[in-house]
Structure 1
């Protein structure tokens, strides 16, 4: 194999593929990125045997001799990152791999590419086609609520429910829940069954990085114990999390007498950051008191002091105080635009708070017991 390519283009693609390769593994072969050069493109492949990626690179590539090679992540990554050469040539021979530019030359040992495990291709006839922008937003607004460290393995990923034109993503750690609805097109009658299509949090991060704003659509297929994602330049495969997701619909409050208050995200987040200054890991609760046209945020920690921040709101009803973990509300604010208006629904000190937007996003925060 012999290829010449623009260094920055190859480096960016290599970083994405290499993020899958484990830094330590009993199977050392997995600590490589497999490169296949054919026609007018190269394909980078990496896997940890749970998550895999096939990444096509066509821009800035010249294939002089077709072939296959294994590039060790620990050495190739730094070479591509630190080199000042605009173009890089990668060539294999019996002695190994030679990486060279106009002012640099490296020789690395080569392993047998045939020993590298296969990485799934996307050959599905049944899948959902979803707007890339919608799918990325669905993942971004739910993945933060997952709990990869929980003994309840099903909480360590995002649930995807896909039926006909409906696509729903859900993330929860048992103390808060994020759900976003979107639309898509079912091709070939594709649909998920039950609540078992749980995509691990680690795979979600890779999918987000692989999605490009230049792409109009992404194709998503649930197949047995795997999920496959196809974009114009990449195919990502992931084993699904074992287990059954909790019935998230029972968590979303359905209340007739709850109070709904419009709140702008930016001012709410600013007030929350101020109130949280006197909190710590043991005292995370912030009291939210709704009364007399004002939302009052109060926190108190024995060693750090007290805070009281006021925010004007359109509510003049009976006083309601709800205590929430400030981190959970902050996570919600971080995935929203500061100018966004959300509807905050509250009922009592013992009932969860529900935040909703007009684009299908809902976020539930369970209340904390008040210490004062």
Structure 2
């Protein structure tokens, strides 16, 4: 193999592939990125045996001799990042890999590329086409609510439900639940079945990172044990979390006569941050009291102090006090713009709060027991 590449584009592609390679592994060969030069483009593949990527790079690539090489992640990444050269050349021979800049030369050991595990391509004829913006929002608005450390149920990932024209993503850790719905297109009758299409938290974050602003759509194919995502330049493969997801629809409150309050993210988030100043890791609960046209946020921690913040709201009904973990409400605010309007639905101090936007986002927060 003998190639010359624009350093910046190669660095960006290599960094994405390298993010999947494990930092430590009993299989040392996985700590490499496989580079294949053929057909006028480079194909970079990496895997940790749970997640894999095939990434194509065509712009700024000149191939003199086609071939394949394994590039050690840590050293190659350091070379690419520290170099100031516009172009980098790489050449393999019997002794390894030579990497050259205009004023730099490196020789790296070469392992046998044939020993590197194969990474799945996208050969499906049944899949869903989703707007890239929607997929990004689905990940952003649900992944924070997952629990990668949990051994309970299958909470360590995002559930994807792909039906004919409806796509739904759900994340929960048992104390709060985030759900995002949108519109997609089924190709070849593709749809998921049951509640087992659970994409690991880390894998779906990597998928979101692989999306380019140039891509208007992304293809998603769910299979029995894994999921494939295809963009214009990459295919990412991920095994699914084993197990069945909890029945999340039972968690979403379906109640008549609940109080629905029109609110805006910015003012609520500002009041929440002020009230949370006197909280700590042990005392995370904030009392939200709705009454007399005011939302009163109150927090109290013995060794820190007390806070009381008021926010005008359009509610003059019976007083209701709901205690919530301020971090969970903050997470909701962080994934939305400050100008976003939403509905906060409450019923009593012992019932969950439901927050919804008009673009298909719903978020449930379970109440905490009040200390006072």
**Quick one: distance in 1 between partners of 2:214 and 2:321?**
46
TM-score (norm 2): 0.99
Alignment-derived partner of residue 234 in structure 1: 234
Matches within 5 A, 1:281-360: 281-360=281-360
Matches within 5 A, 1:188-227: 188-227=188-227
Displacement after TM superposition at 1:269 (Å): 0.6
Give the secondary structure class of the aligned counterpart of 2:370. coil
| Alignment deviations for residues 108-165 of structure 1 (CA, whole Å, 9 cap, x no partner) | 0000000000000000000000101011101110000000001125100000001100
Matched, 1:174 2:174: yes
**Quick one: distance in 2 between partners of 1:273 and 1:345?**
21
**Quick one: distance in 2 between partners of 1:151 and 1:223?**
23
**Quick one: distance in 2 between partners of 1:340 and 1:133?**
17
**Quick one: distance in 2 between partners of 1:8 and 1:297?**
49
**Quick one: distance in 1 between partners of 2:133 and 2:277?**
35
Alignment-derived partner of residue 163 in structure 1: 163
Whether contact under 8 Å (1:160, 1:167) holds in the other structure is yes
Displacement after TM superposition at 1:204 (Å): 1.0
Whether contact under 8 Å (2:153, 2:246) holds in the other structure is no
Whether contact under 8 Å (2:47, 2:53) holds in the other structure is yes
Displacement after TM superposition at 1:22 (Å): 0.6
TM-score (norm 1): 0.99
**Quick one: distance in 2 between partners of 1:79 and 1:233?**
24
Structure 1 gap segments, 5+ residues each:
none
Displacement after TM superposition at 1:81 (Å): 0.5
Give the secondary structure class of the aligned counterpart of 2:133. helix
Whether contact under 8 Å (2:142, 2:169) holds in the other structure is yes
**Quick one: distance in 2 between partners of 1:317 and 1:60?**
65
**4+ runs deviating over 6 angstroms:** none
Alignment-derived partner of residue 140 in structure 2: 140
Give the secondary structure class of the aligned counterpart of 2:349. coil
| Alignment deviations for residues 27-49 of structure 1 (CA, whole Å, 9 cap, x no partner) | 00000000001122101100000
The alignment yields a C-alpha RMSD, in angstroms, of 0.6
Matched, 1:49 2:49: yes
Displacement after TM superposition at 1:280 (Å): 0.5
| Alignment deviations for residues 270-299 of structure 1 (CA, whole Å, 9 cap, x no partner) | 111111110011000001011111111110
Distance 1:84-1:153 versus aligned 2 partners, 3 A rule: farther
**Quick one: distance in 1 between partners of 2:188 and 2:278?**
55
Give the secondary structure class of the aligned counterpart of 1:128. strand
Give the secondary structure class of the aligned counterpart of 2:184. strand
**Quick one: distance in 2 between partners of 1:195 and 1:39?**
41
Alignment-derived partner of residue 126 in structure 1: 126
**Quick one: distance in 2 between partners of 1:40 and 1:264?**
51
Alignment-derived partner of residue 9 in structure 2: 9
**Quick one: distance in 2 between partners of 1:117 and 1:153?**
30
Alignment-derived partner of residue 365 in structure 2: 365
**Quick one: distance in 2 between partners of 1:153 and 1:6?**
47
Whether contact under 8 Å (2:166, 2:182) holds in the other structure is yes
**Quick one: distance in 2 between partners of 1:333 and 1:63?**
48
Whether contact under 8 Å (2:40, 2:58) holds in the other structure is yes
**Quick one: distance in 1 between partners of 2:42 and 2:293?**
61
Whether contact under 8 Å (1:153, 1:241) holds in the other structure is no
**Quick one: distance in 2 between partners of 1:64 and 1:273?**
58
**Quick one: distance in 2 between partners of 1:65 and 1:331?**
51
Give the secondary structure class of the aligned counterpart of 1:21. coil
**Quick one: distance in 2 between partners of 1:223 and 1:251?**
27
Structure 2 gap segments, 5+ residues each:
none
| Alignment deviations for residues 43-65 of structure 1 (CA, whole Å, 9 cap, x no partner) | 11000000000000111111111
Displacement after TM superposition at 1:359 (Å): 0.4
